A and B are shown apart, each in its own frame.
Chain A
Amino acid sequence: MAAACLHTSNPLCFWLGTPLCAEPLKKKKKMDPAILKARAEKKKGKIEKAIRQLQKHAQSLKPIDEMTVNKKLLGEVHSRTRKNPPVTEEETERRALALKSWTRYKHYQHLAEQDKLSTMILSQESALRELRAESEELYLKAIAINESFLPLTLKGPVNTPPIPGYVAPDGDYIDTTRKW
């Protein structure tokens, strides 16, 4: 083994391996540019057709978790429904009267709100009409679209006011929303 590494002259260092004994590699033929172009066009056409097909089907909406019912519960519907005793006549009458008085209350609430709203809107419109009679320029400025105040955030009240001098504990807010 050691003797094979000794040479008396300059060795050519041929390595008689499998690649040397195999057929010489074929020369790469130059494809006709027209054929190449046609192939590229065909591929592009196929991709465009696939895109059109996918775009035709309306994209599905993300599911709203609070509106979906648990599958396990859906399966248990039969065992979970109650068989209540029949309702007495007194009770049905009491319920009907309660519903009527609630409807009446909500109706008056709605009418009161509509009254206020219509007063507001009609007074606005009469003011705009008067303004128009006064000066057209000011009227146009008054009804001009001005989106500088958007986006506008309005917050509702809170149950308890903030505690003065409150030191919040350390903690983390980790976003666990489902990623698509």
Chain B
Amino acid sequence: MLPVIRIFVPRISSPWESIAKLGGCARTHFSSSAVNCGIYSPEDLPPPGPPQFAPINLRIRGYDFTLVEHYMYYLTRLAHNVGVPNTKRWATPAVSTRVTSFKPQSSLLQNEYELNLFERNVLLTGASVSILSTLLDVMNSTLPEGVSVTAKVMEPADEEMRRVPDYELVALKGQLAEMASEREKKKKG
């Protein structure tokens, strides 16, 4: 029995979109010239297609590491197939908690557990409303056991949280701020 082979057609709805995409690609290499490959397009036009969301950060969190990691792989593949090719993914340090339970009517320890809440992130750039709604629907039905996903707009604080704070830099900036405030005080007084 021959298997039925279905070919997935890439998501380009109109011929104009494909040409505009070509023009857009070429434009990134030659930034000053407006005529590329015989196609003229003004430089300050918005990109073609429906309006796009700001970069959305999907935070995948759960206590089971395997599920969290593999769901991250699944979501990046899904995003790529659905029409959001620019997806970045990274890991955030886990949040570890020590959970203790006491014996009834006393403060003697009965159980003690060390739990780690693992986190992985997927960044979707350039998703339109229809694509995002599709993705959220699929996520709702494919979420594995004990894993939760939070979709939110990407903030610089999320990127800062991944990095080790540079205390020297902070101290130097503090010194500069102090000097500036002293000078202002002298000017006033």
Residues of A bordering B, CB below 8 Å: 40, 43-44, 47-48, 50-51, 54-55, 59-67, 108, 111, 114-115, 117-118, 120-121, 124-125, 128-129, 142-147, 150-159, 169-178, 180
Contacts and interface: CB of A to CB of B under 8 A. Distances in A.
Contacts of A62: 93, 162-164
A150 B78 CA distance: 20
Which 7 residue pairs are nearest across A and B when measured between Cβ atoms? A156-B143, A151-B152, A171-B101, A143-B50, A59-B163, A155-B148, A174-B98
B162 to A, nearest CB: 6
A158 B145 contact: yes
B11 interface: yes
A150 B146 contact: no
B172 A154 contact: no
Given A118-B8, A147-B53, A64 B102 contact: no
B100 to A, nearest CB: 5
Contacts of A128: 50, 130
A128 B52 CA distance: 16
Contacts of B102: 169-171
Interface of B: 3, 5-6, 8-9, 11, 13, 50-54, 56, 62, 65, 78, 81-83, 91-102, 104, 110-111, 114, 116, 118, 128-131, 134, 136, 138-140, 143-153, 162-166, 168-169, 172-173, 175-176, 179, 183
A175 B8 contact: no
B176 to A, nearest CB: 5
A51 B173 contact: yes
A92 B97 CA distance: 45
A150 B135 CA distance: 14
